[in-house]
Structure 1
Amino acid sequence: MTLLELNNLPKPGLAEALQKCCGSTAWVENMVALFPVADAEKLMAEATTQWNKLTEADWREAFTHHPKIGGDVAALREKFASTSAWAEGEQASVKQASQETLEALAAGNTEYEQKFGYLFIVCATGKTADEMHALLQARMSNKPENEILIAAGEQDKITRIRLEKVLTA
């Protein structure tokens, strides 16, 4: 869809398109209120500005809209039907990972969730499963107040990539 088409969507359709990019209700509402936007650069800048204005609770809400990296594909497909193609593409390298790496990712995800209270968020685009596992392990030593900021930054990257996908779909 073009930016012109996005700008001309009725508010419910616009909200639905934006929800595919970021699962935070507050972010979607804030973004809808800004439309129409002048150009893609302004859209991307506002996406980050609005994301950074949110509360930690809003960030955590967005995190719940992501499939667990290396998780059960069938269950994830059902839960995340509207973004499943994007998430699968973003995590494509996980499908080619060794069983050992997949098991390590699954165990690491569980440990991460127990420590931080939300699933491991990483912009998986262009990363191998081994790279994601290494990032997960490195981030386990972070303090919760630092890790939430890192996870929020990763969500912002994901949102921007997905906004680009909306504009090219």
Structure 2
Amino acid sequence: MTSSPTPGLTRFNALDDGAATAELHEVCASSAWGGKLLAQRPFATTDALFSANESAMAELTAEDLAEAMSGHAPIGRPKPGDPTSAREQRGMAGASEELKNELLELNLAYQEKFGHVFLICATGATGAFMRDAVKVRIENSPEQERETARGELVKINKIRLTRLVEEGA
């Protein structure tokens, strides 16, 4: 972990609030989450930024979580023209049509039960891993699943924040 600010973190800290808000929105669609991180700038280290992510995510209401999840494409169907979704869902690229169809059906059943997309940190995960995860998680209660999704969002946001402070230099 980083003990001093990276050039990308220094750049992010120096952005005006509007530009920083826009960059945070690309990381997470929750305006409450973005506001909490924005209020803590400047961050001395990337560890401090990651800690702020975890704290802000822990404080989100069910409505805030729904807003955060609304920014995510269903697994196997990245948003057209969205390189972030495509990169994060790369594990689906080699999936068979059978697996893609099975995941589509599971996604629809999950969404019907919980009212939001199946959210998993897909970076580095295979299509089979994600299919197996949705099969397990669809058995959760809404409360259990909300907390599981919250944990997945923490992981996704950390990956995206890392990219922001490393590639944003």
Instruction: Give the equivalent residue in structure 2 for 1:7.
Output: 13
Residue 126 of structure 1: how far off its partner (Å): 1.0
Counterparts of 1:37 and 1:110 in 2: how far apart (Å)?
Answer: 40
Q: Segments of 4+ in structure 1 off by > 6 A?
A: none
Instruction: Give the equivalent residue in structure 1 for 2:134.
Output: 136
Write the letter of the residue equivalent to 1:129.
G
Identity rate of aligned residues, in percent? 32
Instruction: Give the equivalent residue in structure 1 for 2:157.
Output: 159
Q: Is 1:96 the counterpart of 2:94 in the alignment?
A: yes
Instruction: Give the equivalent residue in structure 2 for 1:65.
Output: 71
Instruction: Give the equivalent residue in structure 1 for 2:41.
Output: 35
Instruction: Give the equivalent residue in structure 2 for 1:116.
Output: 114
Write the letter of the residue equivalent to 1:22.
C
Structure 2 unaligned residues grouped into runs of 5+: 1-6
The CA RMSD over aligned residues, in Å, is 1.0
**Residue 126 of structure 1: SS of its match in structure 2?**
coil
Instruction: Give the equivalent residue in structure 2 for 1:26.
Output: 32
Relative to the length of structure 2, the TM-score reads 0.92
Counterparts of 1:113 and 1:93 in 2: how far apart (Å)?
Answer: 21
Counterparts of 1:164 and 1:35 in 2: how far apart (Å)?
Answer: 16
Structure 1 unaligned residues grouped into runs of 5+: none
Residue 89 of structure 1: how far off its partner (Å): 1.1
Residue 69 of structure 1: how far off its partner (Å): 0.6
Residue 86 of structure 1: how far off its partner (Å): 1.9
